[in-house]
Structure 1
Amino acid sequence: MWGINFSLVSLLLLLAVQQTSALNAVNCASTKGFSVVSSGKAAPIWVGSDDWPGVQRAASDFQSDIQQVTGTKPSLTNFTTTSKVSGTPIIVGTLGKSSLISQVVKNAKINVSAINGTWEAFWAGEVSNPLPGVSQAYVIIGADKRGSIFGLYTHSESFGVSPWWWWADVPIKTSKSLFASGCQHGTPSVKYRGFFLNDEQPALQNWAQEKFNNNFTSTPFNHLFYTKIFELLLRMKGNYLWPAQWSSSFAVDDPQNQFLADYYGVVMGTSHEEPMARSTPNEWNEFGSGPWDFTTNAANITAFWKEGVERAQPYETLYTVGMRGLGDLPLTNGENINLLENIISIQRGLLTDANPGVNITKIPQMWCLYQEVQGFYQDGMTVPDDITLLWTDDTWGNIRRYPLANETSRSGGAGVYYHVDLVGPPRDYKWIQSSQIPKIFEQLNLAIVRNATNIWILNVGDLKPYERDTEFFITYGYNHTIYNTTNLDASFVIPWAQREFGLSASKSATVAEIVTNFTRINAARKPELWNSTTWSLTNYREAEWMLNQYNAIAAVSTTIYNSLDKNTQPAFFQLIHHPVQASANLAAIYIQAGYNNLRASQARLSTNNLADEVQTLFEHDFDFETEYHTMLDGKWDHMMDQTHVGYFYWQQPMTNSMPLISRVQTKKQALPGPMRIAVEGSQGAWPGDNQNDCSQGYNCPNPTIVLDNFTPAGSRFVEIGAGGPNTFSWTAGSNVTWLKLNATKGTITSSNPETRLLLTVDWSKVTGAQYANLQINATAKGQAPMNQPITFIANNTVVPSSFKGFVEGDGGISIEAAHASRNTAANGVQWTNIPGYGRTLSALTPLPADGNGNTGFAAGSGPVLEYDFFNFNTLANGTLNVTTYVSPSFNAYGDDRRLAFAISIDSGSPQVQEFMPLTPPASSPAGWSGNDGFVANSIVSVNTQHTNISPGSHTLKVYAMEPAVVIQKLVINTGNVRYAYLGPPESIQV
C-alpha cells in the first residue's frame, strides 16, 4: 500500500546519522581539552565590565547552565583591569566593545580576521598568556553582541542544555565533568531570523493569563512572559521577533518589554500590517484619533507613527513600513500606488527625524508584500532600494514569489514570511503539527537560491506545538549549508531527538520515522479539514489503511514513551507523543464515523458498535487535552485549548462537536433477513435493495468481484454481517479449487455482529480470465435459509519475462515519482528526490534550482524521468489518461517563467503542462481555494491524455522545464482507476 517499513527506514537513517555531528554542526564540547569543570572545580568566567549588557546577561545563563549540567557553579566576574587574577578562566567578550577582549586578543596574538567586522560570528578556543599572570584561558569571542551571545549558547547546547529546556521541559544532560574543544561559526546565512506570535487566542493567551498575569500590566504578555521568549529565541540562534498582536500592545502593555528586548539582544519588529513599531489595531483603537484612512486622516496617523518611531529609536528595531487596513484587511479608500509611495516617503521622513545624522539607508526597514500589497509592487510601485522586500507564502507554506533575477541585488535585499499556523480560509489550522520539514526546506532552498536571505520570519501561532518546525526554520537560516535533500533526518531530526530525549541513534532514527509519518498524514490534509469521507471507505482499503497506519505510529510512539524515565517523558509527550496520539484519535473519530454511516445505509447491526466507538473516541479527545494541561502540576494548562473537531466554515468552531453518527434499531431485523453481505469496493449490500447495488437501486443483480494477479492488495474481501438481533450460522464455498477462503463457516450474533471473509487465488491454477460462483448461506432459528451468490472473476495477466517495470493491476498503474526506471540529467540539472516530502512517499524537483544558467529548458530537452510500464487495457480508441500529482506551487519566478513540465509516452511529442494559471499577484489561481482546492488537498492533479497506445510495454517520460515544480506521483488510468484521496497505492513492479 502507501506505508513505510519502520525497521528498514530505521536502519537507513541509523547509517546516515553516524556521519553527523551536533544539531547546528557546531560542537564545542569534547571528552578532553580545556577543563570547564573537573574534580568538582569549575573554571571561572570573566566578562568585560564594559561589554554589552546582553552578553553579560547571557554569561549568567552560561554560568547557570554549567551548574545545572555538573552540579558545580563557576564564579562569574565582571572583569576590569583591577580585578584579581587567579585560576584558568573562560574569558567572554565582544570585539570592538570589550576592553578585556581587546587585551586578550593582543596579548595572546589571536587571529580574529575571520570574524572581525562580521555579523553575529564567533570564535572560541584555548589560548596561552591572554593576560598578565594568566598562562592559559579558554576564550569565546563574538564579532558583535549576538556573536558573543551565540557563542555562549552554542557551548551550553554542546554541554547538554537544549534551547527548549524551559519551553518543552527538555531534561538537562548531566555530567560531573565538562571539557571544551574550541569551535566557531561564521556569519549566518540569513541576517534576521525569527518568529511571529499570532492568533494567540484561545491557547497562548489563556495560558499566559494564568501564568504571567500580575497587577502591574494589563495583559499577560509582559516582560515576565517575553524574557522567556527572548532567551529561547537567542538559544536557537534567532534574533528577530514579531510580538503577539491581537490581544496586546508590546510597547504599551509593559514599559519594560522594549527595553528588555534590546537588553537581551533581540531585534524587535512588528507584523506585516503594523507600521512604524506600533500595534494595530490595539494601539490605534486606544490612542488614535479618527479613521484608519490616510486619505482623510493623514495628520493623526502620521503623529501616531511618529510616537512609535520615537519610542523605538533607543532600541534595535527593524521597522515595518507601508500600510494595510485596520485589522489585517486590505486598504479601502484611496487604495493606489501613489498613496502608498507617499506613505512610505512620510514614514522614512519620520525615521530620519528620529535619528539625526544617521543615513536613512542604515536604518533597517521592511515592506511586507502580503496579499494585495504584492500587487502594488508588481504593478510598478517604486520602493527605495534599501528597504527589504519581504515576500510571503500563501499562508499554507507555498511561497507566492521569489526575487527575480533583476531584484536579487537590491541593497535592502529580500526575505520570506512563512506560516506553520493560520487563521484564515479555506480553514484555520492551529491545533497540531501539520507541516513537513522537507517541504519547508524545499521552499526556503528556493529563497536562498534567489537571495531572499535578509529576513526570515515564521508565523508560529501559539509557538507550541510547533517547537520542532520553529527550530528547523531558524537553524536552517543560521546555517543553510548543513542541509540538503538527503540529510534532513540525519542532520536535523535525529540529532534533535538525541538532544531532546537522550535517545540512542537507533531510537532517534525511529523518532524521525514517527515525525515523517505523522506529519505526512497531517500535511496531506490538515486535521481541521478532515471529515468522515476524507479517505475512501470503499476503494483501495484507503480509510482502513489510514487507520492502521496511525495506530502503528501511535504504538511505536507509546513504546518509546514508556521506555523513557519520568524526567524525559514530559518533553517527549509535548514534542512527539501528544501530537501523534491526539491526531491518531481524531483520525479514528472521523474514519469510524464514516464506516458508521456506511454500515447504516447497508442495514448492518455493527452500525451501533461503531457509533459507540465514535462516542468514546470523541470523549477521549478531551482526555489527551487534559493530560497535556495537568502534567507538571499544570505548567501548560490551556495550551491545548484550541478547538479542532467539527468545523462548519473556515473559522474555528466555538466548541468541539462530534461528527454525525447513525444508529439502527437493535430489536428490528433488516427486511431481507438476518444476513447482510457487503463486498469490497462497493457501498452496496445484499440481499435486498440498496441504491449502491446498481444504478437502478432495486432488482439489482448479484455482486461481482474481480481480482487480477497484479492487484497490489493481493486479495478481495466479503463482509458477512448481522442485519438485526437474530443469531445465524453461515457457510461459504465455491465451485472451483483455485479460489481460497480464509474461513468456510461461522456464527454471527448481536455481540459479534460481523466477520470478514478474505478471498485469494491460487494463480498457478488460473489461465486468463476464469469465473467462480461463491455461495454464502445462512441459517437462523425459525427463519427460512438464506443464500447469497457472488460471481468471482480471476484474471491471470502475463507480462514477458524480459520486461522490467510497473505492471497494470486493478485497472491502472500507480507510480511513486521517486521510483523512476531512469533519471537522466541535463546540463548539470537533475530531478532530485526529497525523501518524506508529500502525501505518500517523497517528491522530485529539478536541482540545482539555479542550474542551466538560471534559465528553463525547452520541452523535451531538460532532465527526464522515465517510467517503464506494461498495460493490458486502454480506454476508448487506445487512450491512456495520466494524472501527475504535483505539489501546490506558484509561478514564483515571475509571469514569464510559468511552472511547467512536459510529459509523453514513448516517442510521442512532449505535452507541455503549464499547470498553474497566470493570475493577478493579489489573488490565487482558480482551484487554489475551497475545501477541495489545491491547498486543502495539498496537491494539484495535472491530467493529460495520450492516444494510440496499444497494450504492451511502454515508457512514460516526464521532462523538467522550470525549477520549483515538485512531482509526487503518477497514475495511469487503463480503465478502472477509482477515487481515493491519496490516489491508488503503488502498482507492483517486476
Structure 2
Amino acid sequence: MRFTQSILYLGLVSISRVLAIGGPTCLSFTSTQYALSTQDTPATIWIDASDWPGVHRAALDLQNDLEKVTGKRPVILNITLSSGTTDDLPGTPDSLSAPIPIIIGTLGKSNLLKLAAQLNPNINNKFGSIQGKWEAGISEVVKNFIPGVGTAYAIVGSDKRGTIYGIYDFLEQAGVSPWHWWADVPYKSHPEIYASSNITCSHGEPSVKYRGIFLNDEQPALTDWAFAKYSNGTSSNRPPFNRFFYSTIFELLLRLKANYLWPAMWNSAFGVDDPLNQFTADYYGIVMGTSHQEPMLRASPPEWNMFGSGPWNWDENQANLTKFWTDGVKRALPYESIYTIGMRGTGDLPLDESGNIALLERIVAGQRDILSGVYNKNASEVPQLWCLYKEVQGYYERGMRVPDDVILLWTDDNWGNIRRLPAADERNRVGGAGVYYHFDYVGDPRDYKWGNAHAINKFHHQLEMAKRYDADKIWIVNVGDLKPHEVSVDFFMTYAWNTTIWSKDDLDKYRNQWALREFGSAELAPSIADILKRSSHLNARVKNELINSTTYSLTSYREAETVMAEWDTLVDKSTQILNTLPSDYHAAYFELLHHTVIASRTSQAMYINAGYNQLYASQARSQTNAMADSVETLFEQDADIRDEYHGLLDGKWDHMMSQTHLGYYYWQQPMLDTMPSVTRVQKRQVALSGLMRLTVEGSKGAWPGDNSNQCAQGYNCPPPAVPPLTPFSPIPNRYFEVSAGGPTPFDWNATWSATWLQLNPSSGHIADASSGQRVLMSVDWSAVPAGTAPTGVVTLRSSTGQSTTVSLVANHTSVPAGFHGFVEDGGIISIQPEHYSRSTAVDNVSWEVLPDYGKNLSAVSPQIKVDSRWTAGSGPLLEYDFYSYNSNSGNITITVYSAPSLNTYPGHPLTYETFFYELDYY
C-alpha cells in the first residue's frame, strides 16, 4: 500500500559560560585574556553623552544588573568630549590583570566612536560592516581602541536598538535572564567576568523587521493585577496601565530583542491612561502600534467613547472621524510608530456585512490624507499596516488593494494556523507582508485564555512558512495577559530575531539552552527541557478550555488512563526538579513550568474522572461516589494551585491566574469556574443483580443484570467478551474489572477453561464500595497453534453466590516470512506518520518528519519549497507497508488524521486523493 522517558539528572553545577540563546558567547567566568570585572575591581562603563537617551537608560540596567551578578557596583563614566583629542578621556589600565573598560556607543551618534574612528583607522574596519544596518551590532575586545587610551571591550550598534540589544546580550551572557523580573529568574552570581580577544559577538540584521506582542483580553487577570500594583489611589475606574507598568514591558521586549507593541485595549487607551506612555515607549526604543481594529493609533472604542462624537460610521460622520484620527496622529508625531489603517465595526465586529469595498477604500484614502497632512510628507514615507483579520481578508480576496507601501498583515485562524501567505506577485510589494498570530483568543467557537497550550513545534512550522514566503516585515503575537506564555513568547522572539539557526530539528537544542539560561544547571537542563516539551505537547492536543468528560475514551485503547499516566509522570518529574532546585529558583520554576504541569494535570484529571463518574453510575458501580468525591477534590485543588501562584513572593503576582477556565457554556469565558456535573448512587443500596459488578475492556456495559450498552436490546444479553488478542497487539493483554454494586465487602475468584490463558490476579477481595480490581488476561502463544483462534472462558464467582463469565479469543495470526511493516490487529491497522517504509522525492522536495507535532509522536509534511506545486499523483510520495487479513472483497477504510492546515497559497488548495490501496498526500 502506498500513501502520500527521559532520565532525571539531579544536582547543580557551576558552569564557566552561560549561553545567550542562539548566539555566540564572548564572556567567561574563569580567567582568559581580559578582565571586565574582578573580585577586587568592579567594571567601568564608558558612554558618550551624545548617545541616545535610551542607550543611556540601558547602560544603567547594565550597571545595576552587573552589580547583582558580581557583587560590585560598576562605575559609569558619562563622556563629554570638548575637543577632537583624547584629553577629556580617562586613562585605562596597562595591566592584563586589571579590568578594561566597557565602551558603549552607537555609530553616527556617539562622539566617542567618531573620535576613535578618526584616530584609529582600524575602528572603521571593525564596525563599518554594520553601518546603516537595521538593529545590528558588534561586541568585541578592541586593542588600542583609541591611541593612548588602550584596550577596551566595545559594544557598538548600528542604531539605537542595535546598541541596546548589544547591552542586553552582554547581560544575558553574564547570567541575567530576560525574564528576571517578569518570571523572577534569579541572577547568576559570578564574581569575575572575562572577555577573549579572539571572539566576536555580532547580531542583526534581524530576520523579521518588527517583532512584537499584543496585550489583549486582559480582564480579569492582567487588569486586576495592574490595579493592585500600579494604582495611583484615585477613584478612576480606568486600568492603571501607566508608564510604570509599561516600562517593565518595554524592558522585557528589548531584552528579548523585540521592538514592537500593541498595548492593552479593551478598557484601556495607551495615549490617555498616562500622557507619558508614548514618550516612555520612544525613550526606551519601542515602536508603538494599535491592534487590527484600532485605526490611526487611537484606542477604539475607549477613546472614541471619550472623545468621539456621533456614530462610528465614515459615510455618516466623516468630519468627526477625521478630527479624531488627526488628533491621534498629531499626538504620535514625535514618536516611532506604525499606523493601522482601515476600519472595523464597533466591538471588533465587521464594519459592513455586505462587504462594501468602495467604502473601505474611501476610508483608507482619507486616512492617508491625514498622515500626509500631519507629517507634511508623502504618506508612503509613514509606516502603515493593513491587518487582514477575519472578514477583512475577504475584502482583499474580492479585489480591494491598498497602496504598495502599506504592510499587508496576514493572520492565523485564531488557533495558530496561518490563513494566507503572499503569492509570487505579492512578494515584490514595497511594504511587504507580515503575520498576526495568537497565543490567546476570545471568540467563537471558544475562548482560550488560561494556561500555556502552545507547542513550539507547531508555531515554528507555521512561522517558518511565513518566513519562506517573505511575510517577514512584522510578526506580532496576541499574548493575552503575557503570563503564563513566557516560554512561548521567548521562542517566538528568538525565532523572529534569527530564523536561520532554529530548524525543526534544533528545537530540543533551544529548550535545553532555555533551561540552562533560566536555571543555571547543566545537569538539570535536559530534564527541565524534556518536561517543557512534554507538557506543551500534551496541552496542545486539546486546549484546557475545550476538554470535557468525553474528550478521551474511557473504555477503548486505554486512552484516558494513558493520558493521565503521562500527566502523572510529568507531575512527579517536575516536583522532583522543584525540590532539587535551590529555594531561590522555586518561584521562577513554578511560574515558568511547574504551574502549567500541575494545573493542567488537575483540570484534565477532573474532567476525565467526571467521565468515569457518569460511566460508573450507568454500570451500577458503587465507585461512582468515589469518582464524584475525586472530581470535587480536584475542583478545589484547581483553586489551591491558583492561590499558590498568587501567594508567590509575598503576592507579587496576585490576580495573575484569576482567569476563569472551568465550565464553559458557550464561546465566552464563564463568569465563575464551575465544576463538571457528577452523579451519585445510593450508598446503602445493593444493585438488583447483586453485589458483584463485572465490566470489560472495550465496552460501556456491565454484568450481571441489564445495561443498555451490553447489547442492542439492553436485556437478556449474552455474557461479555473482551476484544480479541493477536501476537501483534500493541497492548499484549486485555482486562476485566471486578467492583462493588453495594456497601458490603465480598471475595471473588476466577477459573478458566484454557491452559493457554493466563490471569493476574485470579482472586481478590472487594473491601468497600470504593474498591475495584483489574484482572489482566494474557496468552501463552507457544500453546496456541498458528492459524487458530480458540476461545478461552473465565468463570467469575463471588462469595455472595453470584457467578458470570467473560471470554477471550486468542487469534494466532502470522505474516509471510520476511515481511516488514504493520500488521492488522482486531480489524485495525494504526500507523504513526513517521513510520513510513519508503519516501520518494520530486524536484528535490520530500516529506519530512515534524517531531512532537500532533497528537502523538510526530507529523509529516512536504518540505517547504516556495511556489512548488504538483498535480494529484505527481508529488513527493510516502509509502507504508502493511499486512491485512481483510476478506471483505479487499475494501479497506482509511482514516487520515490531519493537523489543521489552510490554503495559504491562493489558487492552489491542499488536496489528497484516495485510490484502491493507495493514498497520496499533497
Look up the match of 2:34.
34
Q: CA deviation at 1:533?
A: 1.0
Q: How does 1:313-392 map to 2 (within 5 A)?
A: 313-332=333-352, 335-356=355-376, 358-392=377-411
Look up the match of 2:181.
166
Q: CA deviation at 1:873?
A: 2.0
Contact 1:107/1:129 (8 A) holds in 2: no
Letter in 2 for 1:893: Y
Is 1:888 matched up with 2:904?
no
Larger CA deviation: 79-88 vs 461-470: 79-88
Look up the match of 2:448.
429
Look up the match of 1:25.
23
The 3-state SS of whatever aligns with 1:460 is strand
Look up the match of 1:205.
223
Q: CA deviation at 1:334?
A: 7.8
Q: CA deviation at 1:150?
A: 0.5
Q: Deviations over 1:556-579 (max 9, x none)?
A: 111111101111111110011001
- Partners of 2:893 and 2:513 lie apart in 1 by 44
Look up the match of 1:972.
none
Look up the match of 1:180.
195
Look up the match of 1:790.
806
Higher strand share: 1
- Partners of 2:557 and 2:792 lie apart in 1 by 22
Look up the match of 1:131.
146
Look up the match of 2:96.
none
Contact 1:674/1:722 (8 A) holds in 2: yes
Q: Deviations over 1:280-301 (max 9, x none)?
A: 0000001100010111001100
The 3-state SS of whatever aligns with 2:583 is coil
Q: How does 1:706-717 map to 2 (within 5 A)?
A: 706-717=724-735
Q: CA deviation at 1:789?
A: 1.5
Look up the match of 1:816.
832
Q: 2:91 aligns with which of 82, 86, 91?
A: 86
Q: Deviations over 1:961-986 (max 9, x none)?
A: 3xxxxxxxxxxxxxxxxxxxxxxxxx
Q: How does 1:228-243 map to 2 (within 5 A)?
A: 228-243=248-263
- Partners of 1:812 and 1:898 lie apart in 2 by 31
- Partners of 1:71 and 1:229 lie apart in 2 by 26
- Partners of 1:382 and 1:709 lie apart in 2 by 63
Look up the match of 1:140.
155
Look up the match of 2:67.
67
Look up the match of 2:693.
676
Q: Deviations over 1:934-971 (max 9, x none)?
A: xxxxxxxxxxxx4xxxxxxxxx6645x3xxxxxxxxxx
- Partners of 2:646 and 2:702 lie apart in 1 by 45
Identify if the C-alpha distance between structure 1 residues 727 and 18 changes in structure 2 by more than 3 Å, giving closer, same or farther.
Answer: farther
Q: How does 1:415-426 map to 2 (within 5 A)?
A: 415-426=434-445
Look up the match of 1:848.
864
Look up the match of 1:484.
503
Larger CA deviation: 299-308 vs 30-39: 30-39
Identify if the C-alpha distance between structure 1 residues 752 and 200 changes in structure 2 by more than 3 Å, giving closer, same or farther.
Answer: closer
Q: Deviations over 1:902-933 (max 9, x none)?
A: 455xxx5xxxxxxxxxxxxxxxxxxxxxxxxx
Letter in 2 for 1:383: V
Is 1:877 matched up with 2:889?
yes
Letter in 1 for 2:616: R
Q: How does 1:499-518 map to 2 (within 5 A)?
A: 499-504=517-522, 506-518=523-535
Look up the match of 2:875.
862
Is 1:750 matched up with 2:763?
no
Look up the match of 2:165.
150
Q: How does 1:811-960 map to 2 (within 5 A)?
A: 811-850=827-866, 854-874=867-887, 876-894=888-906, 896-904=907-915, 946=917, 958-959=920-921
Q: TM-score, normalised by structure 2?
A: 0.94
Q: Deviations over 1:171-203 (max 9, x none)?
A: 111101012343111200000000000000010
Q: CA deviation at 1:877?
A: 2.4
Letter in 1 for 2:749: T
Look up the match of 2:513.
495
Look up the match of 1:637.
654
Q: 1:107 aligns with which of 119, 125, 134?
A: 119
Count of residues paired in the alignment: 889
Q: TM-score, normalised by structure 1?
A: 0.88
Q: 1:451 aligns with which of 447, 450, 470?
A: 470
Q: How does 1:972-983 map to 2 (within 5 A)?
A: none
Q: CA deviation at 1:19?
A: 14
Q: Deviations over 1:858-890 (max 9, x none)?
A: 33332211111111125x322101111111011
Letter in 2 for 1:761: V
| Displaced runs of 4 or more, over 6 A | 17-20
Is 1:530 matched up with 2:547?
yes
Letter in 1 for 2:489: T
Q: CA deviation at 1:752?
A: 5.5
- Partners of 2:737 and 2:538 lie apart in 1 by 28
- Partners of 2:301 and 2:174 lie apart in 1 by 44
Letter in 1 for 2:371: L
Identify if the C-alpha distance between structure 1 residues 74 and 19 changes in structure 2 by more than 3 Å, giving closer, same or farther.
Answer: closer
Letter in 1 for 2:844: G
Look up the match of 2:306.
286
The 3-state SS of whatever aligns with 1:816 is coil
- Partners of 1:569 and 1:297 lie apart in 2 by 56
Letter in 1 for 2:768: S
Q: Deviations over 1:647-700 (max 9, x none)?
A: 111111111111111111111100001111001100000011000000010111
Look up the match of 2:296.
276
The 3-state SS of whatever aligns with 1:884 is coil
Contact 2:912/2:919 (8 A) holds in 1: no
Which runs of 5 or more residues in structure 2 are unaligned? Answer: 83-87, 93-99
Q: CA deviation at 1:811?
A: 2.1
Q: CA deviation at 1:516?
A: 2.0
User: Taking every aligned residue pair, what percent have the same amino acid on both sides?
Assistant: 51
Q: CA deviation at 1:841?
A: 1.1
- Partners of 2:526 and 2:919 lie apart in 1 by 35
- Partners of 2:270 and 2:20 lie apart in 1 by 35
- Partners of 1:327 and 1:833 lie apart in 2 by 42
Is 1:734 matched up with 2:752?
yes
Is 1:58 matched up with 2:78?
no
Letter in 1 for 2:910: L
Contact 1:829/1:847 (8 A) holds in 2: yes
The 3-state SS of whatever aligns with 2:105 is strand
Q: CA deviation at 1:511?
A: 2.0
Q: How does 1:188-203 map to 2 (within 5 A)?
A: 188-203=206-221
- Partners of 1:598 and 1:575 lie apart in 2 by 36
Larger CA deviation: 831-840 vs 450-459: 831-840
Q: Deviations over 1:684-739 (max 9, x none)?
A: 00011000000010111111222222221111101011110122211101011111
- Partners of 1:135 and 1:22 lie apart in 2 by 28
Contact 1:867/1:957 (8 A) holds in 2: no
Is 1:804 matched up with 2:820?
yes
Q: CA deviation at 1:901?
A: 3.5
Contact 1:40/1:176 (8 A) holds in 2: no
